[in-house]
Structure 1
Amino acid sequence: MRLFNPVTLTEVIPGLHDTSQATGLPDDHWFFTYDYLPDGMALAVNEAGEPALEKIDTSHVK
Structure 2
Amino acid sequence: MSFKDKIKHKSEEAKGAAKEQYGEATDDERLEAEGRTERGAANVKHAGDKVKDAAHDIKDALD
Q: Same fold by TM (over 0.5)?
A: no
Which structure's CA Rg is the greater one? Answer: 2
Q: TM-score with structure 1 length normalisation?
A: 0.24
**Higher relative contact order at CA 8 Å, sep ≥6: structure 1 or structure 2?**
2
Q: TM-score, normalised by structure 2?
A: 0.24
Hey, which of these two has a bigger chunk of helix by percent? 2
Report which of the two has the higher share of strand. Answer: 1
